[in-house]
Amino acid sequence: MTTSYAPAGTQETMSEDIRAIEFEEGIPGFPDITRFVLVDIVDDGAFQTFQSVDDPSVGFVVAVPWLFFPDYAPMLTDVDQQGLDIERQEDAVVFCPVTVDGSASKAYMNLLGPFVVNVRTMKGRQIVLTDQELPLRAELPLNLA
């Protein structure tokens, strides 16, 4: 296992000219982690981390859900859209948290609680999509060697 990603990736992305994504209320379980940068784990990576700007030891693994679940159709409520000041669909980008099982042979995506970012304002929020019967833990349908 190499560790080349962390020093190279984080230093590059931590530079001053990259605007942080701000989660004003933090996320459930991490109320004080409010500023993130998006870091690719590898070049052309399927997975990224929402890396905390303030605490380098905290990052959340995420991925674009449609890479794995093309039919994923999260519906944001009016309250959610207003809260993030989303005026049109292009304002919003969606990443879903990813977990890896203990043996690291399977990974799971949280389709119930995506991170939604307004790319116009660079503000984000973890939105819990209630009443849409979305799984908290969907196994990624990866064909792994």
Partner 1 sequence: MLVLTRKAGESIVIGNEVVITVLEVRGGQIRLGVDAPRNLAVHRAEIYQQVMEENQAASIDASEGVPEILKTTASSITLRNPDSQ
Alpha helices in 88-133 (DSSP H): none
Which residue carries 């064909």 as its tokens? Answer: 143
Count of CB atoms within 10 A of residue 14's CB?
14
Q: Does 41 bind partner 1 (CB under 8 A)?
A: yes
Taking the least distance from each CB to partner 1, the nearer of 58 and 93 is 58
Taking the least distance from each CB to partner 1, the nearer of 89 and 103 is 103
Contact partners, residue 20, CB within 8 Å, separation at least 6: 35, 36, 37, 53, 122
Stretch that binds partner 1, among 11-19, 39-47, 86-94 (CB under 8 A): 39-47
The dihedral of CA 88, 81, 24, 71: what is its sign?
Answer: negative
Stretch that binds partner 1, among 13-21, 86-94, 130-138 (CB under 8 A): 130-138
Q: Which residues bind partner 1 (CB under 8 A)?
A: 1-3, 5-7, 9-10, 24-25, 27-30, 39, 41-47, 49, 51, 56-62, 67-72, 79, 82-83, 97-100, 104-107, 110-113, 125-126, 128, 130, 136-138, 141-144
